[in-house]
């Protein structure tokens, strides 16, 4: 990967103030020992996870409390200093790193669990809690986080909420817009808004938290989250299946949904190119070979006998009807733990394998399920030998395609062949150009393919109202209104 600078995108720095020695002195008094200025240490936080975009921030601040975030933003607002909120820096659209020299405001030290109610299943925690650590804590209480991502070992719950992350459990538990009950947010001028409700129902006025869920740090900095957590399933089963065509993948899903019903928790698909890459670059072993498409099905329930019976009935019908040609199943407790890790790794680590294949052009799209793989086929035909690999995988149950194109190195001519074609194709089929990754820095100019101009203008008005100086995560998510 080669990080792309703002110059490549033809951007100019907005007229924010330059960081001064007086500014540094203020921050060092405010949070001694938590002000990072060393260029080598900052390098990691100036480049995104994909190493595809790079900023040049000279300062990172690591507050521990909402009060400190409030003081930082109040000072930056008065001084007109731009701020880049950053969680685990696992975003895939360049939204979590500076574009120029914005101050990085890290939530890494805001990792305290505030409370958990076992009766209601409501967790309240600071925004910097790592998703996997939260899940480990909840599992000890008999619960889980209603969100699962490949980046769970490093992403922060605040960043998940700020980007409205989707992930692997959305089919079963829905989106964060439904499971997040409340937020604590600090606005651009330093005002702290405490809407950290722990109620399932609250019909008093506008639902303000929804403004900040998916706002990608452009309207405020999320400092704490209240989230509804389901009980940990007592029985989890996995099936990894091979299908001979995408039509069979779709028919298998229809059958699966009808026969498994309430215990179906994930339905993921990937093409054979994905499997070739994880085998080649990560040395993972595919237990089912020789199929053009693969499906990973997970069930989660409370009665292992009941769930296994339903899964076995589904598998028998799928095999005898020719929907599935081969597969492997993990249903008993001992086998599931080892097999779970192996099978989920085949799906979750595709992104990692792609980064070893060269420069990656990534697209995260919502499409009508029947049309999901047509885009991959059309893109392969369009690009021919100019691309190294064109692969498709994703959350089929949610209509979410991850289209990835690799090349030996970055090529502007290849990018021109992909964009805006991929967005035009998506719009023509009534899809969304971002299903779960957000718009960030890379996709903001393409929002018009998914939203009408009136909606974009209304978003810009919200931004201007809550952040009139535009200091919060500038150059991200929305096209400039200036």
Judge whether 34 lies within some domain: yes
Judge whether 22 lies within some domain: yes
Cα(128)–Cα(113) distance, rounded to whole angstroms?
10
Query: Same domain for 74 and 147?
Result: no
Question: Using CB atoms within 10 A of its CB, is residue 454 exposed (0-12), middle (13-18) or buried (19+)?
Answer: exposed
Structure tokens at 459: 């978003």
User: Residue range 146-161: average pLDDT?
Assistant: 94
Percent of residues, the chain, with pLDDT higher than 70: 96
Q: What is the pLDDT of residue 1?
A: 47
Structure tokens at 49: 């996870």
C-beta of residue 245 within 8 angstroms of C-beta of residue 292: yes
Last residue of a domain, one of 228, 256, 287: 228
Query: Same domain for 216 and 180?
Result: yes
Reference 259, options 321, 311, 323; nearest CA is 311
Residue 212 has pLDDT above 80, yes or no: yes
* CATH assignment of the domain containing 220: 3.30.465.10
Tokens 């085949």 found at:
346
C-beta of residue 146 within 8 angstroms of C-beta of residue 230: yes
Look at residue 250 and give its three-state secondary structure.
Answer: helix
Residue 9 has pLDDT above 70, yes or no: no
User: Residue range 302-310: average pLDDT?
Assistant: 91
| Host domain of residue 23 | 5-106
Tokens 């089912």 found at:
288
Look at residue 325 and give its three-state secondary structure.
Answer: coil
Last residue of a domain, one of 228, 247, 280: 228
Judge whether 101 lies within some domain: yes
Judge whether 435 lies within some domain: no
Query: Same domain for 91 and 139?
Result: no
Last residue of a domain, one of 208, 228, 248: 228
Query: Same domain for 305 and 190?
Result: no
User: Residue range 408-422: average pLDDT?
Assistant: 95
Query: Same domain for 186 and 254?
Result: no
User: Residue range 436-446: average pLDDT?
Assistant: 94
Q: What is the pLDDT of residue 197?
A: 83
Judge whether 450 lies within some domain: no
Number of domains in the chain: 3
Cα(150)–Cα(132) distance, rounded to whole angstroms?
10
Confidence grade of residue 7 (pLDDT, cut at 50, 70, 90): low
Judge whether 459 lies within some domain: no
Confidence grade of residue 386 (pLDDT, cut at 50, 70, 90): very high
Residues 26-84 pLDDT 10s: 999 999 999 999 999 999 999 998 888 999 999 999 999 999 999 999 999 999 999 99
Cα(389)–Cα(404) distance, rounded to whole angstroms?
8
What is the b/e burial string over 301-311, where b = at least 16 CB atoms within 10 angstroms of the residue's CB?
beebeebbebb
Structure tokens at 277: 């890459």
Judge whether 447 lies within some domain: no
Query: Same domain for 45 and 135?
Result: no
Confidence grade of residue 399 (pLDDT, cut at 50, 70, 90): very high
Residue 12 has pLDDT above 50, yes or no: yes
Structure tokens at 11: 């951007």
Sign of CA dihedral 43, 476, 152, 406: negative
User: Residue range 126-149: average pLDDT?
Assistant: 96
Query: Same domain for 76 and 194?
Result: no
Query: Same domain for 284 and 211?
Result: no
Q: What is the pLDDT of residue 6?
A: 61
* CATH assignment of the domain containing 383: 3.30.70.2190
* CATH assignment of the domain containing 35: 3.30.43.10
């Amino acid at each position: 990967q080669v990080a792309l600078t703002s110059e490549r995108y033809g951007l100019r720095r907005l007229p924010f103030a330059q960081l001064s020695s007086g500014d540094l002195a203020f921050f060092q008094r405010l949070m001694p020992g938590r002000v990072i200025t060393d260029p080598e240490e900052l390098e990691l936080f100036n480049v995104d996870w994909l190493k595809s975009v790079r900023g040049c921030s000279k300062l990172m601040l690591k507050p521990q409390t909402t009060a400190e975030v409030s003081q930082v933003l109040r000072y930056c607002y008065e001084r007109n200093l731009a701020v880049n909120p950053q969680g685990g820096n696992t975003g895939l659209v360049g939204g979590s790193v500076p574009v120029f020299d914005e101050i990085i405001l890290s939530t890494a030290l805001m990792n305290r669990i505030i409370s958990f109610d076992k009766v209601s299943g409501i967790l309240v925690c600071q925004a910097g809690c790592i998703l996997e650590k939260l899940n480990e804590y909840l599992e000890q209480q008999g619960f889980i986080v209603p969100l699962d991502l490949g980046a769970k070992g490093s992403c922060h719950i605040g960043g998940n909420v700020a980007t409205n992350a989707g992930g692997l459990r959305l089919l079963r538990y829905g989106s964060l817009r439904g499971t997040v009950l409340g937020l604590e947010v600090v606005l651009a001028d330093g005002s702290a808004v405490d809407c950290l409700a722990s109620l399932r129902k609250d019909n008093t006025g506008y639902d303000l938290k929804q403004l900040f869920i998916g706002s990608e740090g452009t309207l405020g900095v999320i400092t704490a989250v209240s989230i509804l957590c389901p009980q940990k399933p007592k029985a989890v089963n996995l099936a990894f299946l091979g299908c001979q065509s995408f039509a069979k993948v779709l028919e298998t899903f229809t059958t699966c949904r009808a026969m498994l019903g309430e215990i179906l928790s994930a339905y993921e698909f990937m093409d054979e190119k994905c499997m070739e890459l994880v085998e080649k670059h990560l040395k993972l072993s595919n237990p089912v070979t020789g199929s053009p498409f693969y499906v990973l099905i997970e069930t989660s329930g409370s009665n292992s006998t009941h769930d296994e019976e339903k899964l076995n009935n589904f598998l028998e019908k799928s095999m005898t009807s020719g929907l599935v040609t081969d597969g492997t199943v993990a249903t008993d407790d001992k086998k599931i733990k080892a097999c779970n890790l192996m099978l989920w790794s085949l799906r979750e680590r595709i992104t990692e394998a792609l980064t070893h294949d060269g420069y990656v052009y990534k697209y995260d799209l919502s499409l009508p399920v029947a049309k999901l793989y047509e885009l991959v086929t059309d893109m392969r035909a369009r690009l021919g030998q100019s691309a190294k690999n064109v692969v498709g995988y994703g959350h089929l149950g949610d209509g979410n395609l991850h289209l990835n194109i690799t090349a030996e190195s970055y090529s502007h001519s290849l990018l021109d062949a992909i964009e805006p074609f991929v967005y035009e194709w998506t719009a023509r089929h009534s899809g969304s150009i971002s299903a779960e990754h957000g718009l960030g820095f890379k996709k903001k100019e393409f929002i018009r393919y998914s939203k009408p101009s009136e909606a974009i203008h209304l978003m810009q008005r919200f931004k201007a109202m809550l952040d009139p100086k535009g200091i919060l995560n500038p150059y991200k998510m929305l096209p400039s209104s200036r």
